Amino acid sequence: MRLGLWLAPTCIDPNSSFFKVHPENLARDQQGEVVPSRFGRKMACLVSPNYAEMFVAKCKRLIDLGCTYFKWDALDGWYCYSDQHEHGNSEHDPEARGHRYGYEFVRTVSAMAEQLIAYCPELVIVYDVTESGRNVGLDFLSQGRFFWMNNGASGYHDFSNYRAKSMRTIYQQYHSIIPSILQTSAQYPHLLTIQPKNRKAYGSQEYKIYSALVGGSGFWGNLKKMSLDERLLANEILLRYKQVSASVVATKPKLTGSIGSSPEIWEFIDDHNAQGQVISFSGAVMRHTYHTAPINRDHFLGIIGHAYQLLEDNRLEFNFEFTEPDSVRSAFILSNNTSGIWIKSASCWIKKLFFKSQTALVVQNGAPGKIILCYPKLKKTPTVYFESRYLNYTIEDTANQRVLHFDIHKADCSIEIEIE
């Protein structure tokens, strides 16, 4: 966990000593009056003498105290017309001073972020652009991220799948020009939804968590209000995702269908490293067979989360089955790190798949089914360890592959395959 702080860089409390000591930093309207800001505060002018420097110094002290995540909010596009600041003087008319402020505002926010990232490279700064009229520019994305939309803190009490779905629109619209990692949003990761004013809100926890994994990567909620089971499920999904997240954030997604369609399939695959994820939603109860783009078979290990097969043309085939409306299916594609071992198909979903050591692979199934594992024939006959009596396997040699056929009659069998 990181310590993160929410800050409103231009909001000044009128009861604060800063307000009394530094009137030269307050934004002024065309009549020279102090400009009101959000939350009952007054607005500071970012382009007034020393203000940005003071704000950066304050943030550095917070970093020194352990804060490595800032959310900057309320950066509204309201103008300052003062002739005493660094966006024009009495030689310029008020309108020109206002426009110059708008122009310098974005550059100043980006410059502040740049100084802080230089001071603390792991610092994350998120710029809240949720409200209308926010003063933003692409410049800021060279340092930080946009925060687009909130679910958990929604003022309209909609914590349902419908809201989760609508939030994916952001990534559908912008993923082709802005990498999804630079665009954050917050889904509500709870299973049970709060019910204000006796209004019922429906939603599935998995649907909302997977919506965050196609874009946004954020949650907003209350851990204390999540049951142990809810937290464990969220953790399990996120741990699967983290195995492939480096590839997901570096890949431009391929979207099949549109938001809310049946199906709506998001494919993020680094084809060279054979790593990524396929997340599929459907509004309707249906079945759908999906083929991915070809992957590099030499680097492919297997898939957790969904049954599949690797076809001759190096595409992955999934038979998605949506058993209720607004459901989601997921597949996380793992790289074999050039070990030469790969799982050609699994008729059941695999729950765990990892190398315990350089030569030992662990496979755990999530349901009964058949798993076919291949590796180069040059290697020795494998030693297979398994505890369950609900499993049998055979070994078949082809021209240059050794193929292990596992037939597993029970979920949660853990198999360890040692290949030297």
Taken in order 2, 331, 373, 376, is the CA torsion positive or negative? negative
263 preceded by a cis bond (ω within 30 of 0): yes
Contact between 102 and 38 (Cβ < 8 Å): no
Residue 82 sits in the site that holds Zn ion (CB under 5 A): yes
Written as six digits, the tokens of 403 are 């193929």
Bridge partners of 186?
150
Choose between 45 and 109: whose C-beta lies nearer to Zn ion: 45
Q: Are 203 and 156 in contact (CB under 8 A)?
A: no
Intra-chain end-to-end CA distance of the chain, in Å: 38
Name the one range near Zn ion by CB under 5 A: 73-81, 302-310, 350-358, 390-398: 73-81
- Choose among 166, 206, 172: nearest CA to 190: 206
Judged by CB under 5 A, which of 41, 71, 85, 190 binds Zn ion? 85
**SS3 for 414?**
strand
Binders of Zn ion in range 17-46 (CB under 5 A)? 45
Q: What angle do CA 206, 261, 216 make, to 5 degrees?
A: 45
* Number of shown-chain residues binding Zn ion (CB under 5 A): 5
- The least CB distance from residue 41 to Zn ion, in Å, is 16
46 versus 63: smaller Cβ distance to Zn ion: 46
- Pick the piece of the chain touching Zn ion (CB under 5 A) from 80-88, 126-134, 148-156, 347-355: 80-88
Q: Between 12 and 265, whose beta carbon lies closer to Zn ion?
A: 12
Find the shortest distance in angstroms from Cβ 274 to Zn ion.
Answer: 54
Q: How far is the CB of 162 from Zn ion (least distance, A)?
A: 42
| Helix H or strand E encompassing 215 | none
Residues near 40 by beta carbon (within 8 Å), at least 6 away in sequence: 14
Shortest Å distance, C-beta 204 to Zn ion: 49
Checking DSSP bridges between strand 67-72 and strand 124-128, what pairing results, if any?
parallel
Angle at 376 between CA 371 and CA 380, to 5 degrees: 95
Q: How far is the CB of 255 from Zn ion (least distance, A)?
A: 43
Per-residue CA distances from 384 to 370, 401, 418, 419 (Å): 16, 17, 6, 9
Question: Strand ranges (DSSP E) for 131-274?
Answer: 145-150, 183-186, 254-256, 264-270
Minimum distance from CB of 82 to Zn ion (Å)? 4
The answer to whether 100 contacts Zn ion (rule: CB under 5 A) is no
Among the candidate windows 9-17, 48-56, 145-153, 363-371, which touches Zn ion by CB under 5 A?
A: 48-56
Instruction: Quote the crossing angle between the two packed helices 51-64 and 94-119, to the nearest 10°.
Output: 20
Determine the length of the chain.
420
- What is the closest distance, in whole angstroms, from the C-beta atom of residue 46 to Zn ion in the complex? 8
CB-facing half-sphere around the CA of 85: CA atoms within 13 A? 31
Q: Residue 35 CB, nearest distance to Zn ion (Å)?
A: 9
Nearer to Zn ion, 22 or 379 (CB): 22
Tokens representing 90 are 């009495």
Does position 71 interact with Zn ion (CB under 5 A)? The reply is no
Between 105 and 308, CB nearer to Zn ion = 105
- The reply on whether position 135 binds Zn ion by CB under 5 A is no
Q: Is 80 in the site for Zn ion (CB under 5 A)?
A: yes
Nearer to Zn ion, 82 or 143 (CB): 82
> Would you say 82 or 336 has its CB closer to Zn ion?
82
Least gap, CB of 45 to Zn ion (angstroms): 3
* The residue to which tokens 């997921």 are assigned: 330
Please identify, among the stretches 82-90, 195-203, 283-291, 295-303, the one whose residues bind Zn ion according to the rule CB under 5 A: 82-90
Q: Which is nearer to Zn ion, 43 or 353 (CB)?
A: 43
* Residue 371 binds to Zn ion (criterion: CB under 5 A): no
Site residues (CB under 5 A) for Zn ion? 45, 48, 80, 82, 85
